[in-house]
Chains A and B, each alone.
Chain A
Amino acid sequence: MVEAPNKAPATPKKEAPIEPGLQVAPGPHLSSAGLTTQRLMVDVLIALVPVMSMALFLFRWFAVLQVGICVVSCLTVEAITSLWRGTRPSLQDTSAIVTGVILGLSLPWSAPWHVGVVASAVAIGFGKAVFGGLGQNIFNPAMVGRGFVMISFASSLGATAYVRSGATLEILTQATPLTAAKELSGNVPGLWALFVGNANGSLGETSVLACLVGGLYLCLRRSAVWQTPVSMITSAAVVAGIANLLMPESPLTVLQHLTSGALVFSAFFIATDPVTSPLTERGQVIFGAGLGALVVIIRLFSNYPEGVVFAVLLMNAVVPMINRVTIPKPLGGLPARA
């Protein structure tokens, strides 16, 4: 029998040894029996409905297929790893489904089936299970899986995908907006098309409108914090603005930066992951600002057209440090550190 040593510290990491669960935050303090991981995850799924509908409209059953593959693989791997670790499979908290859906939405429809399967296995296996399961992972599982296949199957995830915006007969060949900008071919779609989502790209990222609708729902339900997305998008806009001032020949305007690629999708659905984002509000603002800046910097200066995956993974690695820097001042007490 394997004693899983990583099961013990399931409680919050910092406050535990000193005081019995002392949390300092402005009142009112309410606790609710309905406030569970499952509710949070179901909220995310509901918020993803507009995004999924848009993907369904644009890519038809390819979208369903891709998301389905990812969800099924994620659930399978979750069950296997839980059994292996000797814990009850925690499928009912639906976090594996959320990982699967977000992963599926972050892949292009044209990626073959093995891409989704490998991405899901890496996401749940290396992204979550090796750290000890939900709540223990450092990196966003979906982004770990996405990053793995992004490097492994560069050609399958490459930018030469087609848009199928109609029936099977009307196939539109079109580079993704960011690839068009990268290759300076100048075929970046208009702002309205980018906003509504009539452009090529990964399943979930095309429509800013759908992401905003879903994201707004999440923030209003308080299932996601609003600080991270707001600061992420603001910081991306600021950095893109500075870049445009310094390099006027840049192919993308600030608004095009904001509406193309996975920026808005990741701001609402990936950056707000409660496990891998900072605990304090100040920390969430810093986290979002770093993300937005990194996304634009990677877009502008690296060989990759889009920088969300690497930006999220890099910022996730910094989260413990952000948490340490932004320890809140206890009410009526001295500052935590001089």
Chain B
Amino acid sequence: MPVPEPTPLERFLNGILPENPVYRQLLGLCPTLAVTAAMKPAMTMVGATAFVLICANLITSLIRHLLKPHLRILVFTLTIATFVTIADRTLAAFAYPMSKLLGPYVPLIIVNCMIISRCEVCSSKQSPKTALADAVGVSLGFLLALASVATVREILGNGSWFGIQLVPESFPTLILMILPPGAFLALGSLLGLATWLGHRRKARASEPHAGSA
């Protein structure tokens, strides 16, 4: 195929907004819904996921010439599982309360489609440099997504941000927002907002001169 090789910078930038894993690709929704009741667990989750994503991307990129097509998914899964185990045990050793709070969601990083899709789409075909840039970009995109959802939920539901109380204790907060239904409401609204902003930007860009995507 005559598609030009993507540059590392292009991959890096693409992961943040144009191909944001949550808002554009709708991948990794499980942690986005489950651990975003507050900023702290959300950011821990982002850290663990980013670690796994970057390491797995690097390793698969390094061994990309050894991959056999019919065994590649197995190799991806094993690679990811290795780093998920490292992340999980590290959290349990050094941040036990957080590990308890996140519960099964750290081991569940292994089934985060975002990671395996990056392995399949990018790192198994690109050089380590491109794969690294791609992983960091996608991680930043994931950070952006989880931070936005968690910010909305924690401020509305608890009146705090990163555990810092923003409004007086007596202020009425929407407790529903830190309960599971709040995750769906927050993510749905933010998805709608992101899509709307995207449409608007595209419409504005195509108005004066067509063609530049």
Contact = CB atoms under 8 A, between A and B. Distances in A.
Nearest to B192: A130
B78 interface: no
B199 interface: yes
A65 B199 CA distance: 41
Given A114-B172, A152-B176, A2 B196 contact: yes
B175 A153 contact: yes
A148 B199 contact: no
Interface of B: 172-177, 179, 181, 185, 188, 192, 196, 199-200, 203
Given A2-B196, A2-B200, A118 B185 contact: no
A156 interface: yes
Given A1-B203, A2-B199, A2-B200, A153 B172 contact: yes
Nearest to B188: A130
Interface in A91-122: 112, 114-115, 118
A2 B175 CA distance: 33
Contacts of A148: 174, 176
B91 to A, nearest CB: 31
Given A1-B203, A2-B196, A2-B200, A152 B185 contact: no
Contacts of A112: 172
Contact of B185 (A1, A115, A126): A126
Q: Closest 9 interchain pairs by CB?
A: A152-B176, A152-B174, A151-B176, A152-B175, A114-B172, A148-B176, A153-B172, A2-B199, A151-B175
Nearest to B174: A152
Contacts of A331: none
A156 B192 CA distance: 31
Given A151-B175, A153-B172, A156-B172, 19 more contacts: A1-B203, A2-B196, A2-B199, A2-B200, A114-B172, A115-B172, A118-B174, A126-B185, A130-B188, A148-B174, A148-B176, A151-B176, A151-B179, A151-B181, A152-B173, A152-B174, A152-B175, A153-B175, A154-B175
Indicate the member of A130, A151, A156 with the most B CB atoms within 10 Å.
Answer: A151
Interface in A50-89: none
Contacts of B199: 2
Contacts of B188: 130
A114 B167 CA distance: 15
Contacts of A118: 174
B171 to A, nearest CB: 10
A1 B203 CA distance: 7
B27 to A, nearest CB: 23
Contacts of B176: 148, 151-152
Interface in A1-22: 1-2
Contacts, number: 26
Contacts of A130: 188, 192
Contacts of A154: 175
B114 to A, nearest CB: 26
18 contacts: A1-B203, A2-B196, A2-B199, A2-B200, A112-B172, A115-B172, A118-B174, A130-B188, A148-B176, A151-B175, A151-B176, A151-B181, A152-B174, A152-B175, A152-B177, A153-B175, A154-B175, A156-B172
Contacts of A1: 203
A150 to B, nearest CB: 9
Contacts of B175: 151-154
B185 to A, nearest CB: 7
Contacts of B181: 151
Interface string A153-164: 110100000000
A85 to B, nearest CB: 11
B195 to A, nearest CB: 10
Nearest to A156: B172
- Most chain B beta carbons < 10 A, residue from A114, A118, A126, A148: A148
A265 B185 CA distance: 28
Contacts of A156: 172
Contacts of B177: 152
Nearest to A3: B199
Contacts of B185: 126
A1 B201 CA distance: 10
Contacts of B196: 2
Nearest to B178: A152
A2 B199 CA distance: 8
Contacts of A151: 175-176, 179, 181
Nearest to A118: B174
A87 to B, nearest CB: 15
Interface in A294-322: none
A77 to B, nearest CB: 14
A148 B199 CA distance: 30
Nearest to B157: A152
Interface in A182-200: none
Interface in A124-177: 126, 130, 148, 151-154, 156
A152 to B, nearest CB: 4
